[in-house]
Amino acid sequence: MLGSSDFSHIGSSPATGLTTRCLIPVPRREDIHKILLIGSGPIIIGQACEFDYSGTQACKALREEGYEVVLVNSNPATIMTDPSTADRTYIEPLAWEIVAKVIERERPDAILPTLGGQTGLNLAMDLDHHGILKKFNVLMIGANPEAIAKAEERDKFKTAMEKIGLECCRGRTVRTLEDAREAMSEVGLPCVVRPSFTLGGSGSAIAYNREEFDVLARRGLDQSPISEILVEESVLGWKEYEMEVMRDLDDNVVIICSIENFDPMGIHTGDSITVAPAQTLTDKEYQRMRDASIAVIREIGVETGGSNIQFAIEPQTGRMIVIEMNPRVSRSSALASKATGFPIAKIAAKLAVGYRLHELPNDITRKTRACFEPTIDYVVTKIPRFAFEKFPEADSTLTTQMKSVGETMAIGRTFKESFQKALRGLEVGAFGFGCDPKDLWETDLQPSNGEIAAKISRPSAERVWYLRYALKAGFSISEIYDRTAIDPWFLDQLSQIVEMENELRARETLDRVDAEQMRAAKRMGFADRQLGHIFRTGELDVRRYRKQMGIQVTFKSVDTCAAEFEAHTPYFYSTYEDEDEVPDKVPGRRRIIILGGGPNRIGQGIEFDYCCCHASYALRELGIESIMVNSNPETVSTDYDTSDLLFFEPLTIEDVLNICDRVQPDGVIVQFGGQTPLNLARALWNAGVPIIGTSVDTIEAAEDREKFRVMLEQLGLHQPANGIARNMSEARTVATEVGFPALVRPSFVLGGRAMEICYDQSQFDRFVTEAFVVAEGQPVLIDRFLEDATEVDVDAIADGTRVVVAGIMEHIEEAGVHSGDSACAIPSFSLPTAVEEEIRNATVALARALQVVGLMNVQFAVKRESETFKVYVLEVNPRASRTVPFVAKATGLPIAKVAAKIMAGQTLQELGIHSQPIPMRVSVKESVFPFRKFAGVDIVLGPEMRSTGEVMGVSDRFSIAFAKSQLAAGVVLPSSKQPSGKIFVSVSKRHKHQIVTFCRRLHTMGYNLLATEGTARVLEEAQIPVHRVKKLAEGNPNLLDHLIDGDISLIVNTPSGKGARTDEGRIRAAAVQHGVPCITTIAAAEAAVSAMEALEQEDMTVEALQDRFVEGAVSYYAPTEDRTTAVS
Amino acid sequence: MATAKLALEDGTVFTGVALGAANCVEGEVCFNTSMTGYQEILTDPSYRGQIVTMTYPQIGNYGVNMEDLESQCPHLSGFVVREMSRVVSNFRAGGALNDYLQQHGVVALAGIDTRALVRHIRSKGALRGVLSSTELDDTALVQKAQASPGLVGRDLVREVVSPSDRAWAEGLSRWSDLAEHAQLASPARRPRVVALDFGMKWNIARHLYQQGCDVTIVPGTTATTESVLDHQPDGVFLSNGPGDPEPLAYAIQTIRGLLGRVPIFGICLGHQLLGLACGARTFKLKFGHRGANQPVLNLETGRVEITAQNHGFAVSDDGLPDSLEVTHRNLNDNTIAGLRHRSLPAFSVQYHPESSSGPHDSHYLFASFTAQFSA
């Protein structure tokens, strides 16, 4: 309910007698009824689940107001694409041509472009440029195209800033290298090169010399969709701030949150450690920045909603510069929402339809209005999470181009506490600022002063650890400041943590730490695990010891108002204070905790957050109090109204046990948040935490290769020859038994980290060594690798007695490509019925044997051996898998919700779920990769997962569904309508015999084929015309020249040897940088050719999810036994 | 580290670390929710008789400087923070906050659960308390708190007002505006403003001066209608100040005499006094409004101003005379935030448009004031 109706008191005061505008509440807009929202598409670097969070909030907010919401997003792993979130949901590629079809079909009155990230904004601008909005009379609300252009186009922005008396960096935009050089000489070196209209600052970097400048300028011109770069003065090392601003139609403007970056200018804010609120500004300076923010949003003309404005301040003089403005909700606004409790996206949506800020209630206090500026009584720290281990060839220096894949946020009463909590929430093996297993200090690997000095001078993911080493080594604050430009206030805070550590160490044993010091340490955010490390004892011993002394955690509310008003939204963080604010358990009402997935990383992201949210929805439907624990500010799960109680906490044993102590849950769900909660399951269970669903023993049994092998044998199922090794010599023995090619991987690791296929002994030795490092004491698994097998993923739900298969996904890429990286389809497109039946039976048998309660995922490989097919079980995971949301969207069965209800005690029968749904439409899931952010990285797919996100394409036919999935993933397949496109084919020896058919089809469609010598010979022998091109080493013109000239429209290149340094690696990397689709497997090439053929005959059509699962659109698998019964 | 205690009249005692000066002081315990601006808050004379708790936990980060003062020295009784920064990081800083507190004899307490204290005040209302780093016996402190006078009925203004008239000639700090200030215009005749000082914040005077006014500050305690009019003012300003407005009969009488004879603008206590002079009543709020995020609706424009506030008393809607109209309301609790006389040139706001510390949304009021001067 909105407050507008009860707003009469303002004017009703008899004493005022004023007839004022506020007496007549401006109602919500009545001239629009149907609103189109555009999502942000797949998760990529710079655009993650924060836009699911904001889009979902917006959908809810608009529907609450009675508007019909049409949503377009290509990402199936989102809450916003759940059929119940919007009225009309289109999981379709985010290309303007496709969205135009949605508009034609739905005829929305308005489009709200400011909630779908840069993608949504760009797409809305495309629709405007192409006249679609005008043609169908669609109004752009929130921000109009002029305002967007003014904010996004550098020159316009700069002019606007000058007009209001604000300084920008000196510099200008240019479109040629020559002009760029001239601009550079104006601003001097070092200078920043920034391509226009790219995501997450993609392509921007700092040039320190002329040579670097030329390279960066060329690359920038190429990456910018409009071939434009900005060359500007460097403000490297300045203090960096962000302001989150909101404005309504009456020009009321409020600041929601200020953010101060721990890392100074020069490091993308997405890659910086950031802190809310600002810490080192006086009120005079803060208010000046506030004035500037208000002036900016007014001048740019964002009519309603939220914007993010970035400032740089010269530390010695206070000179303030406006860096940029995002005229939309952003990653930072999601952070600001979570940091303050103020729901920016929700309010932005309401403002867009005409409400004014003071007509909207503050949900948290209920009594006050949304028109105020949140004030907080804690400190928030956000730390980015990186994935450089997945891209060893990439430059890991942090620059103005964003490279992180996720983030964690922590709340504490002091910066020290929130900083240490955030470090342990990062889940990189650290439990705070040192004193943990990752700590190199006083080990053989302790860095020298020279190394420390070098490491802190170069911004990187690791720098934070070296700041501590610098303090431990006695570097002075000013010395560290000179090398890092990190504000001395922050450095002093870090120094206080190290001083506390040193004081603790001086006590030598835990029993010499008294209550006062223990409390002081806990208040600085020290984890029990860190104290255990210092005193060489277990974390649970520390826990017991401190609890005996009465040192216990307290939970405080996030309430937008620093306790000035009573808070009704139960959003909590832990700290060590006197008073606890968590409500007591309601007698008779069950409480169940869901453990979330922590920061996004490759292999564990939005899919798991989707599952956690669904678990919470399911519990609430059952009348159970749902409690979410997570540390990821980007997510829907950390929205304050997703669950009954939200604990914004790191996912560690200590933090979870603390919550359990306080809330006394009736159950804890560990199977939805990916590997993060699973890794805690054993310890939690041993500590007496009531884990519900599949038992911890089962979870471990599925991971225990020996137990697993015995079980498969008992069930009569096959697996590839395999073995387990605890050291190198064991590994070599296993290798001789298993044979080559062999698949090597560490156990208990998600996302295929350090997983490799070895074709010979030398590769094997290298990869096994690496796997042991990653395994951190756990064994390494070695399997025979099945070449050219088809991989099949199965998700199933079981309630302990019954099992229902939810989806059988046939992979497009062959086994060996990580399941998270390959494309797959529901229903399967080539598996014989008998094979599917065998897979189904095996799944049921496995679920029964493991006594699964909840979700289970099984990976199979199907290998054709002469005329028969043999089914192998590769892996069983008794937990929610990455494919759960895709299966739900493809089949219409909300399996995560069903599974949560089962864990809470319901049965499949009670829930009316009897059989596998088989949808009429074909859904194809495709993966999306961050290669464009990591120049020079080889893009070949392998057993180590490297994709960040996924998209889905749906159609009646597999080929069109595949084509849609490609378009959604940003891969624009060539079309014969532009016949100039040439297709380059170069495959490894192993694949030469497989290319003839699809190359002939390409030739038939009219494409010119290019190939290097070996491949060309194969095609010539098959009578297919082909142009030979030189290999890179053979001189010019070679393929790279063709790529640069832009006359290649598709590359098919399968790898023979992996590596960026090889010729083929360079070709693939170049293809990425030039935006040319590059297919690296034969299977995907065949699917692509089929898609291209299909597109010759028919166009892509769009269909709402709500129309897809109408009566009769899904059939159900009927078991053979039943059929026999029926016949007899 | 030395211990300090905060004892409340209801028996609650908070124990933490002693900072600032060593002493034992009484005061009404209140809280301020501003995240920046502790220096302005410390030097705001309106805090006389109060022990101020900052809700933002990390205080002192940017130190203190000589530009951001709101009066000569701190006037509050005591200062409570969660954590005091031991270093200073700001290009304008001239010293550390703790040193400043020591120099000026301010007792401070750190390390306590300030949020628990704030929640306590929120539910119980403002409480009398004793902050001490010398006497540390709980019972004695609580008794002392119970015996302390509180704010109601006390004239605290006399304790903060400078005794003599003085001319003010300082404009706004260069950090107060986006653009560099244009050189102050020197009009042929600068309109003359007499500011009745009840504990005035300097930034008010700076604003008036910046508006081109010739500002004379006179002690509100001794000023009479005649003595004010002797200055032949174009306008009279009624300043903010500490405590309860009701005991200030002398001021009310002076203002009554001035009404209709010269344009009047009042802020905070000045607003309450104007109300009282016109026949309105004031009352004590449960725990007051102290912060820089208080939304105020301007009833004439329908727009919202985010304001800085610091008051424990307010003008009551009950018994508001017909001569006054409400121009602004606090959106949080709907209390009166601005008044105007229906027939005479006099208006006032409960909040602080000079906003130091605080947002600049309401600067326009100073121009509204000078616009009323007859040319």
ipTM of the prediction: 0.98
Identify the burial level of B177 via C-beta atoms within 10 angstroms of its C-beta, where 0-12 means exposed, 13-18 middle and 19 or more buried. middle
SS (H, E, C) A691-719: EECCCHHHHHHHHCHHHHHHHHHHHCCEC
Q: Has residue A38 got a pLDDT over 60?
A: yes
Residue A35 CA to residue A106 CA, distance in Å, equals 10
Q: Has residue B10 got a pLDDT over 70?
A: yes
Least confident of A636-645, A775-784, A851-860, B227-236: A775-784
Backbone dihedral region for residue B263 (phi beyond 0: left; psi -120 to 50: alpha; all else: beta): beta
Instruction: Using CA coordinates, name the residue in chain A closest to B333.
Output: A368
Instruction: Using CA coordinates, name the residue in chain A closest to B120.
Output: A563
Least confident of A496-505, A615-624, A931-940: A931-940
Buried b (16+ CB within 10 A) or exposed e, B16-36: bbbbbbebbbbbbbbbbbbbb
Least confident of A441-450, A497-506, A834-843, A940-949: A940-949
What's the pLDDT at A6?
39
Q: How many beta-carbon pairs under 8 angstroms link A with B?
A: 212
Residues B200 and B87 in one domain: no
Least confident of A11-20, A938-947, B70-79: A11-20
Which amino acid, B204? I
Bridge partner list, A230 = A173, A194
Residue B17 CA to residue B2 CA, distance in Å, equals 6
Last residue of some domain: B147, B175, B200? B147
Q: Is position B352 annotated as part of the catalytic site?
A: yes
Pairing between strand A1078-1079 and B58-59? unpaired
Q: Is position B73 annotated as part of the catalytic site?
A: no
- Which of B306, B309, B361 has the most A C-beta neighbours within 10 Å, making it the best mutation to test the interface with A? B306
Calculate the average pLDDT of chain A. Answer: 91
Domain contains B152: no
What's the pLDDT at A1060?
53
Structure tokens at A521: 């340490």
Residue A40 CA to residue A949 CA, distance in Å, equals 11
Total domains in chain B come to: 2
Q: Has residue A616 got a pLDDT over 90?
A: yes
Cβ–Cβ below 8 Å for B332 and A565: yes
Q: Are A121 and A148 in contact (CB under 8 A)?
A: yes
Structure tokens at A444: 């053989």
What's the pLDDT at A225?
77
Could you say which of A18, A279, A367 has the minimum Cβ distance to residue B61? A279
Grade residue A155 by pLDDT with cuts at 50, 70 and 90: confident
Cβ–Cβ below 8 Å for B61 and A283: no
Quick check: A516 contacting B, CB < 8 Å? no
Dihedral sign of CA atoms A382, A200, A311, A265 in order = positive
Cβ–Cβ below 8 Å for B114 and A377: yes
- Which of B32, B69, B175 has the most A C-beta neighbours within 10 Å, making it the best mutation to test the interface with A? B175
Grade residue A205 by pLDDT with cuts at 50, 70 and 90: confident
Residues B234 and B349 in one domain: yes
3-state secondary structure of A513: coil
Q: Are A927 and A914 in contact (CB under 8 A)?
A: no
Cβ-based neighbours of A629, under 8 Å, separated by 6 or more: A593, A594, A595, A596, A647, A649, A651, A655, A656, A659
What's the pLDDT at B184?
57
What radius of gyration, in Å, describes the C-alpha atoms of chain A? 29
Residue B215 CA to residue B260 CA, distance in Å, equals 20
Eight-state DSSP code of residue B278: T
Q: At what angle do helices B269-277 and B249-258 cross, to 10 degrees?
A: 70
Domain contains B139: yes
Residues B103 and B209 in one domain: no
Q: Has residue B165 got a pLDDT over 60?
A: yes
What's the pLDDT at A12?
35
Least confident of A218-232, A366-380, A742-756: A742-756
Among residues A1118, A1113, A1105, which one has the least CA distance to residue A76? A1105
Q: Are A943 and A902 in contact (CB under 8 A)?
A: no
Grade residue A22 by pLDDT with cuts at 50, 70 and 90: very low
Mean pLDDT of A629-633: 98
Residues B235 and B367 in one domain: yes
Residues from chain B contacting residue A556 (CB–CB below 8 Å): 115
Quick check: A369 contacting B, CB < 8 Å? yes
What's the pLDDT at A1127?
33
What's the pLDDT at A89?
97
Residues B8 and B141 in one domain: yes
pLDDT, one tens digit per residue, over B143-164 is 999 999 999 999 999 999 999 9
Domain contains B59: yes
Q: CB count, 10 Å around CB of A66?
A: 9
What's the pLDDT at B187?
62
Among residues A297, A740, A377, which one has the least CA distance to residue A562? A377
What's the pLDDT at B185?
55
Q: Has residue A286 got a pLDDT over 60?
A: yes
Buried b (16+ CB within 10 A) or exposed e, A14-51: ebbebebbbeebbebbeebebbbbbbbbbbbbbbbbbb
What's the pLDDT at B203?
97
Which amino acid, B190? R
Query: Residue B212 is part of a domain; what is its CATH number?
Result: 3.40.50.880
Cβ-based neighbours of A600, under 8 Å, separated by 6 or more: A43, A48, A49, A385, A405, A406, A407, A606, A632, A634
3-state secondary structure of A871: strand
Tell me the shortest Cα–Cα distance from A460 to chain B, in angstroms.
25
Residue A315 CA to residue A192 CA, distance in Å, equals 19
Higher-confidence residue of A904 and B186: namely: A904
Mean pLDDT of A260-265: 97
Quick check: B67 contacting A, CB < 8 Å? yes
Range of the domain at B364: 157-374
Contacts for A1103-1112: CB closer than 8 Å, 24+ residues apart:
A1103/A90, A1103/A921, A1103/A954, A1104/A88, A1104/A89, A1104/A90, A1104/A106, A1105/A81, A1105/A83, A1105/A89, A1105/A90, A1105/A91, A1105/A889, A1106/A83, A1106/A87, A1106/A88, A1106/A89, A1108/A892, A1108/A919, A1108/A921, A1108/A954, A1109/A83, A1109/A892, A1109/A919
Last residue of some domain: B103, B119, B147? B147
Domain contains B235: yes
Instruction: Give the rounded distance of the alpha carbon of A959 from its chain centre.
Output: 28
Identify the burial level of B102 via C-beta atoms within 10 angstroms of its C-beta, where 0-12 means exposed, 13-18 middle and 19 or more buried. middle
What's the pLDDT at A293?
97
Mean pLDDT of A581-607: 95
Residues B85 and B167 in one domain: no
In sequence order, which ranges of A749-908 are alpha helices (DSSP H)?
A: 761-775, 833-849, 884-891, 895-903
Residues B307 and B362 in one domain: yes
Cβ-based neighbours of A97, under 8 Å, separated by 6 or more: none
Quick check: B42 contacting A, CB < 8 Å? no
Residue A497 CA to residue A433 CA, distance in Å, equals 8
Q: Are A720 and A785 in contact (CB under 8 A)?
A: yes
Calculate the average pLDDT of chain B. Answer: 95
What's the pLDDT at B316?
98
Interface of B with A in 198-237 (CB under 8 A): none
Domain contains B240: yes
Residues B108 and B162 in one domain: no
Grade residue A1034 by pLDDT with cuts at 50, 70 and 90: confident
Could you say which of B68, B179, B295 has the minimum Cβ distance to residue A369? B295
The fraction of chain B above a pLDDT of 90, given in percent, is 94
Could you say which of A165, A283, A317 has the minimum Cβ distance to residue B91? A317
Cβ–Cβ below 8 Å for B91 and A318: yes
Quick check: A697 contacting B, CB < 8 Å? no
In sequence order, which ranges of A253-330 are alpha helices (DSSP H)?
A: 283-300
Residues B55 and B170 in one domain: no
Mean pLDDT of B84-102: 97
Identify the burial level of B93 via C-beta atoms within 10 angstroms of its C-beta, where 0-12 means exposed, 13-18 middle and 19 or more buried. middle
Residues B164 and B130 in one domain: no
Identify the burial level of A581 via C-beta atoms within 10 angstroms of its C-beta, where 0-12 means exposed, 13-18 middle and 19 or more buried. middle
Most confident listed range (A3-12, A160-169, B183-192):
A160-169
Eight-state DSSP code of residue B133: S
The separation between the first and the last C-alpha atoms of chain B, rounded to the nearest angstrom, is 62
Residue A588 CA to residue A978 CA, distance in Å, equals 68
Q: Has residue A979 got a pLDDT over 60?
A: no
Among residues B254, B243, B260, which one has the least CA distance to residue B277? B254
Bridge partner list, A938 = none
Domain contains B66: yes
- Specify the residue for token string 């951001």: B68
Query: Residue B95 is part of a domain; what is its CATH number?
Result: 3.50.30.20
What's the pLDDT at B302?
93
Q: Has residue A1123 got a pLDDT over 60?
A: no
**B26, B268, B289, B363: which is the annotated catalytic residue?**
B268
Domain contains B100: yes
Among residues A306, A176, A160, A146, which one has the least CA distance to residue A242? A306
Q: CB count, 10 Å around CB of A763?
A: 18
Q: Has residue B375 got a pLDDT over 70?
A: no
Residues B168 and B31 in one domain: no
pLDDT, one tens digit per residue, over A1036-1060 is 778 888 887 778 899 999 887 655 5
Last residue of some domain: B114, B129, B147? B147
Q: Are A668 and A595 in contact (CB under 8 A)?
A: yes
Buried b (16+ CB within 10 A) or exposed e, A188-209: eebbbbbbbbbbbbbbbbbbee
SS (H, E, C) B305-336: EEEEEEEEEEECCCCCCCCEEEEEEECCCCCE
Q: Has residue A13 got a pLDDT over 50?
A: no
Structure tokens at A584: 């007591």
Q: CB count, 10 Å around CB of A732?
A: 15
What's the pLDDT at A366?
87
Q: Are A170 and A232 in contact (CB under 8 A)?
A: yes
What's the pLDDT at A1119?
64
Cβ-based neighbours of A552, under 8 Å, separated by 6 or more: A546, A658, A661
Q: Are A886 and A950 in contact (CB under 8 A)?
A: yes
Q: Has residue A537 got a pLDDT over 60?
A: yes
Cβ-based neighbours of A42, under 8 Å, separated by 6 or more: A74, A75, A928, A948, A949, A950, A951, A968, A969
Q: Has residue A1033 got a pLDDT over 80?
A: no
Residues B127 and B272 in one domain: no
Q: Has residue A936 got a pLDDT over 80?
A: no
Buried b (16+ CB within 10 A) or exposed e, A590-617: bbbbbbbbbbbbbbbbbbbbbbbbbbbb
Residue A329 CA to residue B24 CA, distance in Å, equals 50
